[in-house]
Structure 1
Amino acid sequence: MPSISKFISKIGLRERRSHRSTQESPSTAPASALDRHPQGLDVVSEGTNPVVDIVVIHGLDGHREKTWTAKNGVHWLRDLLRVDIPEVRILAWGYDANTHAVSGTCCSFLYDHARTLVSDLNRRRKLTDSSERPIIFIAHSLGGIVVKSALIHSDAARQGALPEHRSIKLSTYGILFMGTPHQGGNGVQLGRILTNVASVFVPADDRLLKHLERDSEWLLQQLGQYGPISGEFVTKFAYENYKTPIALGKQIIVVPKASAVVPGQADVEPMAIYANHKNMVKFPSKQDVGYNTILENLQIMVKEAEAVIRARWEAERRAENARGNEMQFSLGFSLSEVNEVNHFVARQEQLIQLQGILTASRDRRIVVIHGLGGMGKTQLAIAFTKQNHESFSAVFWMNATDEETLKRSFLRAADRILQDCFPFTYLAHAVADSDIDEIVKAVKRWLSERKNNQWLIIFDNYDHPSLGGNTDRRNSWQRDSIASKEYDIRLFFPQTHHGAIIITTRSSTVKLGQTVRLSKLKQIEDSLSILESTSNRERLEEDPAAVDLAQELDGLPLALATAGAYLDQVAMSCTEYLKLYKESWGRLLESSPRLVSYEDRAMYSTWNISYQNVEKRNKSSAMLLRLWAYFDHDDLWYELLCGADESAPPWLQALTDKITFTESMRLLCDHGLVDTNTVTRKSEVGSLSYSVHGCVHAWMVGALHKQTDTEMVQLAARCVASLVPSTEDKEYWRIQQRLLQHVDRSFETMAESTGIPHFEPWINGAFGSLYADQGRLDKAEVMYERALQGYEKAWGPEHISTLDTVNNLGNLYADQGQLDKAEEMYKRALRGKEKAWGPEHTSTLNTVNNLGSLYKSQGRLNKAEAMYKRALQGKEKAWGPEHTSTLDTVHNLGSLYDDQGRLDKAEEMYERALQGYKKAWGPEHTSTLDTVNNLGILYKSQGRLDKAEEMYERALQGKEKAWGPEHTSTLNTVNNLGILYKSQGRLDKAEEMYERALQGYEKAWGPEHTSTLNTVNNLGNLYVDQGRLDKAEEMYERALQGYEKALGSPNFETYLPTLNTLENLGDFYQHIKKSELAKISYSRAHGGLRTVFGDNNERVQAILKKLETTHL
């Protein structure tokens, strides 16, 4: 038992603080805003024959000089950088972001500052004949947002809109963002991070702070506008590694790495600066690590910048010349043919990808945007077009739903051309003749003109392709009924090899160019943003029900917009909507308002149409989709259907052929209903898999099945249950984890539906075993009880299948701490098995082994030893000494000997079990890891703490990989590590382990399970060592009350963890001079230990000595 560390009494000390009121002398005039915050450009260094301009911008409440000056007075730009890179001109720009006094509040906000920066830079560079000199920006904190706004403004400058401002963006080679909050991260909203920044620099009631809080959404939109041009700059993201002091003695990481570093962009690099947010741009000497990091990056950038920017200006001049030739082909920008959402979110990665492909050259560029209906393909194309339309001479939006609709779009394009451009005769004649086919030809001819090479066409909703290349095996009537909408879109492409084309489609067969695959929104913040904008409700991120709704809709923009539109029109909470969505899916969506931005489509109409086409083409594919309603939406793979037996319907038997299965899935993928999971998860065994979006799955349940299909439910359950592995199978836990979500789906369907007969007993038993192994004991109990009822009804109470289930229920009750019920089950199973099989059958011996484990848990160690020895002798005779079932009992004997203090015998058993498991299963099998864990316990008992830690770490790593971090077997090792750390005096680490184990146990077992209570006891020991005596007593009392409730009498009085806690409580009371209470606890512990170990046991003698020396 762990010893109690020496108590250290601590007197609560109250920090005393003196308060001095300060008053400004009336005779002191306030400094002007310009004195406090110098504004505009200042030349820090002219440089020697400069080839690059380095421009530095301070952040909120920064200062043009002081921001860059260390405490020792070193201004690193002037005193260090000027010397180390003499060939650059260094410019510092200041602006009034100070808002400490209302009278000094600046009326300009970030965008105004950005335009001023561009204007100031442009003038200075024109006056010094350096307009094309490369620029490298260094921006601290919110100064980085000013820089991004400036570059957005500069990029937008065109003829008639301060075109000279465009020179700043063209000349910008690189940017060093120093602690700039670009985005939210790790669940923290951007607004919260901006508040952190403000808490360092300004008071909370400041006007600029309110602006930032109110307009953090605007800042996110800034990031969206900046994303497409960000790839043109070499970017370094510096982030702080130390906390910054703020008010009330607190310290925070102001801008965490997740906010300061934007992942996924090209030519970017994160850099750690070992300083806090304020000091990350104050370098006191050349020896400073942060300075050398910045210096080396700047030296590389300066070396490469000149050639890159020179080439960029040459390309700009060529483009200007070309634009002069293209004026006759230029059309005014219009998106009147399509409806856009009011608030487009996320998709920055895809926007950058589109820009990289479509604006790279004037040759023919084709991008296919592919995704599920409602995923936002059209809105992505709109967003790209709005951001980049100035890169194209003309933009045409074509509705490609079917051939006739597309031709009408060509007619509208012809009208626009004739209205805005030079009147080409062939186009005018075609329109005058009203011949739609001739109009299509004429528009294609216009697009093919040699100098007309900068147009963009969007073919939207090309969902019915007919591109050739595959043999169509359908019957002629099927071909005729489906082909009405199919056509080859290539017939509508201009002949010449120039221009840009975007195609949006649900069909995976459209492979005409580079594919941009659109999947669900990854960030919950983006989903909540759509809900907010469409429901006109604010601060939904603070509503747990809204977060749950967003998670349920799983990042599908159309589903989120539909939910938002409904909530906008009714007085209903997100909780109520989510309940309706789950219970009355079809009725809810039928009553939802139509969305103009989604072409007046109901959310499920596209899926209905796709399903009808699938049903006409392939009956097995359609039936598979119906069956899938009763599997989980994710991870359906070929082997899952192979459990179908001869009683299965013919269409399902056909799908057990791999080629037929693959063809059926390919058809579903072609129609955008199913996705291929191309990346194998670590836990996967078997084939690669397929998935459907959660909202599509809801449609499958609610629309393809108006009522629960009993036959399909049973069919899905049989498929899943047939794959549940035995624990004798290698890596059985991986198969279990892959099946778990499908077992959950069957369980939920059965629980939610009335009138469905229970699953067959073998299915219930298989599900019960899987749940038990995965630590889901409440569900395991339900399934085992149903299995038992089924077997007793079908076969009688003494059938072997009935008895196996009784044994398994005993295991379950033992795991739950219901030891009396476990003993009842084991004894019933043992009697039945001895009668059916005889006393030496291996099935009988398994129950004997289990009884041994129960007796050990009850503290009846002699009876436990007798059971284990009987089981071991029988298994060695039946299976041999190296069979894994034999080794299970060897392992258990080792644990028993450890409890008895026979450590050498325990080590012998553990080593034998470990070598056998490694030989049979390998080093990462869960049985191997259990023995590794127990060896750690043994080594700790022997005082070999380093070896114990090595065993625990090895076991923990393996269990987290096999079971996951929250499985109870993993938590057992976490708890053991806590005990070890406490023994080593590493109390903070011990508390971390105990808290993790306790939270996990309470979640898995409940607050009164014996495993939970063991950790409660351990926390009591830890609190004693930490001097937190009230908390320690609370933990001990909670543990004792819980043990008594879980075990009952008399088992409570001989249960070793109970006796440990009683002894711990006695030590506790003895220390705080409550000798009477100490004696009561020692007496109870002594009595129980005598019963368990006998009078001559060392531990019994030790507690007797404590009892005798306790003074009343």
Structure 2
Amino acid sequence: MDAPKIRKLRPDDYTIAWICALPCELAASEAMLDERHGDLHRRRNDSNTYIFGSVGAYNIVIACLPSGVYGTTSAATVAIQMLASFPSIRFGIMVGIGGGVPGGDTDIRLGDIIVSKPTGTFGGVVQYDFGKTIQEGDFVRVGSLNKPPLSLLTGISRLEADHMLGLSKIPLHLSDMIARYPAMKAKFTYLGQFHDRLFRSDYEHFNSETTCENCDVSRAIERPLREGTDPVIHYGTIGSGNQVIKHGATRDRLRRELGILCLEMEAAGLMDSFPCLVVRGICDYADSHKNKLWQEYAAATAAAYAKELVLAIPLDQVLCSSTAAEVAMATEANFAIPFILNGCPRISKFVGRDDYIQAIERFLLPVTDEGEPKILVLHGVGGIGKTQLAAQFAKSYRDQFSAVFWVNGKTESALRTSLATIVDQIPSATRLHKNELSGDEDSTEMAIRIVIRWLKLAGNFRWLIIFDSIDSQSQSADKSMDSDSQSPSLAYDIRKYLDLMNHGSVIITSRLSYMSQLGKGMTISRVTLDEGLQVLRSINSHIDDEGALDLARRLDGLPLGLSHAACYMAQKGISPRQYLQKYNEELAGRKKLLEHVPRLSSYNVSLMTTWEISLAAIQDENPFAIKFLMLSSFCITRTFTSSFFGIPQCPTEIGYMRLLGDAERMYKRALGEYRLGLGPNDSTTLNTMNGLAMVHQSQGRLAEAKKLLQAALDGYQETKALGDIFGVCINFAGIYTDEGDLHRAELILRKAIECLGVSTNVHQEQLSSVLFNLSGVFKQQGLLIDAENLLELILRRYRKVLGPHNISVYNCMHNLGNIYVDNGRLLDAEDAFQTAISGYSEILGSDHVMTLMVSDSLHDLRAPMTRETLDERVASCRRTLKKQEDARGLRSLATLGCMVNLGTILSVNGEFEEASTTLQQAYQSLNENFGPNHHHTISALSGLGCLHGKQKRLIEARSFLQSALTRSEEVHGREDPRTLHILCNLADLCNDEGRSEEAEAIFLKVIRLYEKMFGVDNVFTLGIVQRLGRFYLNNGRMAEAECNLAKALQGFRKS
């Protein structure tokens, strides 16, 4: 007989999320399914493992936390990825085990079930370790967690009533589980009251045995025997936190303070991620007698209750409710978003047009919720000022709207890209849907869907969207469109986007008059002669002769043409008469050309003439800029942001990764065109290949980057283009440095120097640049004196060639300061850091990431390690890390380096939980993207070892530190200061392990090596002498301690 066919559904078919933390919880949950479904293909950025099935009429997806990874943050990550993969989920149920908190009127036994239910104080779950310490030393919990959704609370009420009548189906579900899966009988069944003991909170489980068979039974609390074996269900508050509670007195204190019935480690991470309920089977009493004997049965009772609850909820009630993602977004207190017209080409001074502004105000204001959007269409010829008029209205009346968005409608592709970027401005959307927006091919479609969903939320009607340049309506949308108005390939129907909006305000700018059919139309006319003069003078205040009047009249009231002319005159320092003469010459040539060339009816000769004049000026001053503009013309459908031009202002990692994706597609498209049209070895083709390689490097795709660079290098060598070979060598060196292959990085940089030496057109700035990179390689190789000498040489060159206030000078001072620190020249380092901070603040701003990084280095140099300075250092590291994330994304090497620094200082400051999370995240990403031998990877590994040592987890600490030491010896060498630093940390660990003789030998060895490298009076040598003194002090060897500490103190005073 054939086995029954397993159904395979779609992601949209699943409405309930079921989340577990342990394998036993997953097994019990899977056993409760009435039917198993076939597995689905996981999204690229979804790391969860799922089990699919159904209970009754509901399709359920079960997920489990990664093995060995627990806590509120991990649970939140799993939940967010689930919502991204299964958009129809209505709510979740966290099903698993927990520690019981008996006492008061609640008789909690092992195997009982705790269900999170709102009380007068909490919403069902309270995070007991989230708060602040006030002045008197008391700990005050701050914030609140969401309540479970109404459908679940309704189901709970029904079950409470059924259970009062003795109609519980939990025993039935448990027996059915054993019948279907007999192998579960051994561990997933009730163990009996004999094995259920609650000891007094002051009686600790001191021995190392895993059970309580030898514990003093007389210290157990006497409790009456229960008549039956069925679990009892308790409803109330569950305490959630990031640490395991194994202390009876702490458990009792939390019960008194918060009234909690159960302790666990995941629920708080879920309650604010999406609507859910928490169900816990009690497996221990959260004291030192905690063991794993009851875990499987407790997991089974929780899963059985969850199944009974699901069956008690009416299907139509769930299907009619909002999705979990919609609920999570709608729970925000308001829909206000800071005013930023991203992508809008606004001018600094807006002239006139008051009558139009007032007309727009009368139509769109006051903002009301009328069940459909207010749509205003501004139409007129190109260059008439429609975009600037819309932008000026938005700027003047921004306080009347909760959010204002600008969308580039030039093509449908550009419109979709602009709509998708709005998701970066919606905090809840970014939090809930980060994963699917981080590289999937359909990320734009997903982002648009999220944005539209947010725009349609109830109560969110005070937004304004400006659809700019809707100049290519499709033929299917309107048969009356002129056949030559736009290229058919760029045409699309804007109505399919407008129809998705059920309220709000919309402004459309268009050259097409019939677009007014979409809403209220407003024709924008040319500016008057007086207004034309105002436009010219608003940009160039020196325009005041009679020629200005002739020019304004000649340009026929087109604001864009007037702006082009005014900018050109200001840049070149010429008069209106001189510009008018140039304009007439250009216009005559253009008209003659157009006699033989067909053109669109929308082509404006006057406007294009002013543009050609400006373009010719750019060609004369910067030919490379023209090449870049030609390359950009391949991307007519793309939207460029300031970040594309090297100004990192992306608000989130999502925006940064999407930007790189846009750049990648642009380069690939251009590369294909150039290969076909110009040939594979043309310089333009090779330059494009080089650019694509740099994009791949920023994406962490180093192997692909190296392949492209090698192809470009082969092409350049064939044409003997020494300048281009030099550029590829620099890029290759950057990749090798990222990979930690310092030997190859050094070789390729020396090759670059050879190129400059052979070239007849050597630029001092280019030579200094390659030497600057080489100094960084020397530093990472531990060649500190060579690095210092080279940087001082470069600094002199930079100051001579670029001047004393160039950004490259301050970059050099920053690196030189770090080298001085490594070489023990602390006063010189302080001077270098102060100079760099002053320069960065003036050029980049005091809040720029580079300024903050140098400030952190200076703070480390000056401040002693006190509680106050450590707190300041932590805050400073957080600011720097946030800036790096915004600028480069979470995966960049610079960001991960900052993450290692933050984790290390958190560890020193005693903030172990966050330090562990930060260092683990940094290590995993560094190891995956930059390899196990990168110096940042080794630093993260060493940091984790030190952290475990501070927590007295000595076995784990030794494993991490020994691994870090081995890698550092292989990469940096046995006598490198970074290796010796890890060795000293290992010495501290040896002392904690009781191996004091080994620890002493290590310290003495390191001191000898430091004296050999840096000298007796070097601050780093003295630092190790000080550590040795403290070692002697901790081991009661007072005479030796006094000798070494006095020696260190005397040396510090001298230095």
Tell me the TM-score normalized by structure 1: 0.40
Tell me the TM-score normalized by structure 2: 0.42
Higher RCO (CA 8 Å, separation ≥ 6 residues): 2
